[in-house]
A and B are shown apart, each in its own frame.
Chain A
Amino acid sequence: MARIIVVTSGKGGVGKTTSSAAIGTGLAQRGHSTVIIDFDVGLRNLDLIMGCERRVVYDFVNVINGEATLNQALIKDKRTEGLFILPASQTRDKDALTEEGVSKVLEELKERFDYIVCDSPAGIEKGAQMALYFADEAIVVTNPEVSSVRDSDRILGILQSKSLRAREGQEPVKEHLLVTRYNPARVSAGEMLSVADVEEILAIPLLGVIPESQDVLKASNQGEPVILNADAQAGQAYSDAVDRLLGEDRAHRFLDEQKQGFLKRLLGGGRG
């Protein structure tokens, strides 16, 4: 039975697309056929992060409107076996995704894939609600920062009241907290909320903590999901998160400030 996982947050720029790309890739790496869908109508970006922007011909809305078949629109990832991308439409028509249309496409995808990862747009309005409506699980991406945490709590409220599972009184959407852009040094300096703080406020199970890292920018520059960089801490943290998503037990890493030499600390050195 295919699982639909939405990657959502309320707030923009917190790392939803980065996380969708990494987690979708990680699921496929582990042998599960996976499609990542870009729900950000008008602001297509998943293609860039996945490095397939030059190969987009048809998009999600074309499929809904019957202008292309799913096979024509799906882009096969060149690096990871069993991974496909369904790009967002660049139309400015915000109503292009209808509940009926999305439902039809998802039903078809469910026949072919083990996991359907939905990269949500920002906000709590229609676009974000459409991305989460059919979800079985939700990865709530949160930065350790006041507005992001508050917005995450609001999106949790929407998951619990406006998703299909909530509407039909089924078992609730399974919630996961993914803290991203975490900076342990700033946490120990008392300048940034800790993972424990965020967990306590949002009160949902922790899937992973992704450190703030230059490697993420480098990965997006190159159009390669950061999880493919096994040397990068952010890549390793995403790998752990995927393992946990699949039910494995993994200790959390990179939560503490890395021990640096005194001189380096004095000079304010340290990589992001």
Chain B
Amino acid sequence: MSLLDYFRSKQSPRSASTAKERLQVIVAHERGQRNQPDYLPRMQQEILEVIRKYVPVEQDDVHVQVDENGNCSVLELNVTLPG
């Protein structure tokens, strides 16, 4: 580490901790999606199209998720409607 690097690292926030926090969030999110059934993205798309017949919504206004609850699964549908 050169002298310049030394002062630079003292001034700016430590970028490694930012990296770690961001990774923890995205990895947890992606692990949650990992066990989702393969048909989910397509189903989400079709649900989106149905909703769009009635209300203008964007892609990320619709969230579909399957949660395992012991011996049954719950399909959770979350739609944010324009206010």
Contacts and interface: CB of A to CB of B under 8 A. Distances in A.
Interface of A: 145-146, 149-150, 153-154, 157, 161, 185-187, 189-194, 197, 200-201, 257, 265-268, 270
Nearest to A189: B9
Given A149-B23, A201-B23, A266-B3, A191 B16 contact: yes
B17 interface: yes
B22 A191 contact: no
A147 B5 CA distance: 24
Contact of B31 (A157, A194, A200, A270): A157
Nearest to B15: A191
A146 B15 contact: no
B23 to A, nearest CB: 5
A150 B16 contact: no
Interface size class of B (residues with CB under 8 A): 20 to 34
A200 B1 CA distance: 26
A189 B12 CA distance: 11
Overall SS of chain B's interface: helix
A190 B9 CA distance: 7
Contacts of A197: 16, 19-20
Given A146-B22, A150-B23, A153-B30, A266 B2 contact: yes
Nearest to A187: B16
Given A149-B23, A197-B20, A191 B9 contact: yes
A193 B1 contact: no
B44 to A, nearest CB: 20
Contact of B19 (A146, A185, A265): A146
Interface string B60-75: 0000000000000000
22 contacts: A145-B19, A149-B27, A150-B23, A153-B27, A153-B30, A153-B31, A157-B34, A161-B34, A186-B1, A189-B1, A189-B9, A190-B17, A191-B9, A191-B14, A192-B16, A193-B16, A201-B24, A201-B27, A265-B3, A268-B1, A268-B2, A268-B3
Q: Max chain B CB contacts within 10 Å: which of A187, A190, A266, A270?
A: A190
